[in-house]
Structure 1
Amino acid sequence: MIMGFAFRYCSVLLSILILSPAMCSNAEYYYSRATYFGSPKCKLANPTGACGYGEYGMTINNGDVSGVSHTLWKNGTGCGACYQVRCKNNPHCSEDGTNIIVTDYGEGHYTDFILTASAYAKMAQSNMASALYSYGVVDVEYKRIPCTYSSYNLVLKVHEHSKNPSYLAVIPLYQAGVSDINSMEVWLEDCKEWRAMRRVYGTVYDLENPPMGVITVRIQVSTNGETKWVQLTNVIPTEWKAGATYDTSIQLN
């Protein structure tokens, strides 16, 4: 399992430093810094990111994704969160900045965000991306924004390492709104009780010897400080397969 932030595609040298806590700029935005990995000619995201998303993490939001610091990573709970990130006090930058999805973990030169090159470029005004790239690291302000997936419900993907019937690992995808997924459990019909799944890393949850038959899952989510359980009845079929995705028919927003 890959647990770090791997700079595999088109290298940029980043000095790994201890991150200082972000300072609040106003009621909505927080001050920080942002950098990027890759190069303008190589805009791929990291396919082995620490959230466990795989190919999804490369293609979601047109590849405008980011690794985030420990502060926003939250031991993997921060996976799937969406943020608006915009430059601060920089003449080359636009007012709107860029909207990104968290798919990885990483810390650089006192940064909270290590953006893909394409996401970084979208902070710039028209025809000024090259000038912005030359900075390497820029001061930014950011805020959490709702994720929106108009064509998708929340989906549970069965991890490729799963093996029916002895081992099940799942990854929630298309997590809308501003909810964080804290934990997952499966229902044991024979025992009439819920059994906790283990967070393996990022947003990957697993369970050895899962129940036979169709599987009911519940997810604990927190939204703006409020926590609740969301039950997904019979969401995973008896003949589940590694790599398959199963629509939950709901969204978390």
Structure 2
Amino acid sequence: MATSHYLTALVLFMAFSVQAMAEVNGTWYNAHATFYGDMSGGATMQGACGYGDLFQQGYGLKTAALSMALFNNGLTCGACFEIMCVNDPQWCIPNAGTIKVTATNYCPPNYVDGSWCNPPQKHFDLSMSMFTKIAIYKAGIIPVRYRRIACVKSGGVKFQLAGNPYWLLVLVYNVGNAGDVYDVKIKGSKTGWLQMTRNWGMNWQTGANLVGQSLSFHVTTSDGRWIQFDDVVPWNWQFKQTYQGKYNL
């Protein structure tokens, strides 16, 4: 990243810090939680956010599928939550504290059987590994309290490329702080800035042919912070490859 661009992003990052942290560390809310799979993880591939292999991408088992009331049509993908088991002495583990998870999937409603993921209910479907840190697995479902927290990620924001020469799909992940990306712009070395549109989850698309050009990205998260990655992808990039920026939000 060019020094001037980095300093601009850093100043804006600092300007939003107080406001964003107040939003992220806000009120606790009531919800319920269940778990899926077994202790090894089970369904940790792909999902409604498009993250793919959660272990390879650094999310592991510290993840959750969100009900419709929380998922926000995929815009909440990448957000982080702190969760505790409450008001159930039979199943809550005493003094278990809290768990911290990243939203990586969707828990769809089932209007036939009154699923916990039906709107307007707020619900987290956790990995069994995370569920059993705060409750006994035989509980099946537990009352919880949750709040949004800042995401702590190792390394820079990552960009995974897919598609074809006439349609580029970019998965943006490993995003810190707010975690959920609300806007992405792309720039080839021979173009100006182009607005990308969200395809699904955290996959963003453009119809521009950018093969043979180095790529830059301008990423904005839900709290208004943004950061620019100049030439983060080299001119000889390949589809199905992942490129990592030097910085995070």
* TM-score, with length taken from structure 2: 0.76
Q: Percent identity?
A: 26
1:173-198 superposed Cα distances (whole Å, 9 cap, x missing partner): 21111243101112266564x32212
Q: Deviations over 1:8-51 (max 9, x none)?
A: xxxxxxxxxxxxxxxxxx953110111111245x5323312000
Structure 2 counterparts to residues 47-58 of structure 1, below 5 A: 47-56=45-54
Runs ≥4 in structure 1, deviation > 6 angstroms? none
> 2:171 aligns to what?
171
Which structure is higher in RCO with an 8 Å CA cutoff and minimum separation 6? Answer: 2
Confirm or deny: 8 A CA contact 2:188 2:214 kept in the other structure: no
Q: Look up the match of 2:124.
A: 113
Q: CA deviation at 1:58?
A: 7.2
Indicate if the aligned counterparts of 1:45 and 1:63 stay in contact, CA closer than 8 A: no
Moved more, 198-207 or 56-65: 56-65
Match of 2:231 in 1: 234
Ranges in structure 1 where 5+ consecutive residues have no aligned partner: 1-25, 125-131
Q: In the alignment, which residue of structure 2 is the partner of 1:101?
A: 102
SS at match of 2:72: helix
Tell me which of 152, 164, 177 is aligned to 1:148: 152
Relative to 1, partners in 2 of residues 1:249 and 1:31: Cα closer, same or farther, differing over 3 Å? same
Aligned length: 211
Residue correspondence of structure 1 range 11-160 to structure 2 within 5 A: 28-40=27-39, 43-56=41-54, 60-91=58-89, 92-93=92-93, 94-107=95-108, 108-109=115-116, 110-124=121-135, 132-150=136-154, 152-159=155-162
Paired letter, 2:32: R
* 8 A contact 1:44–1:63 mirrored in 2: no
In the aligned structure 2, how far is the partner of 1:71 from the partner of 1:58? Answer: 28
Amino acid across the alignment from 1:177: N
Runs of 5+ consecutive residues of structure 2 not aligned to the other structure:
1-24, 109-114
Shift of the alpha carbon at 1:88?
A: 0.7
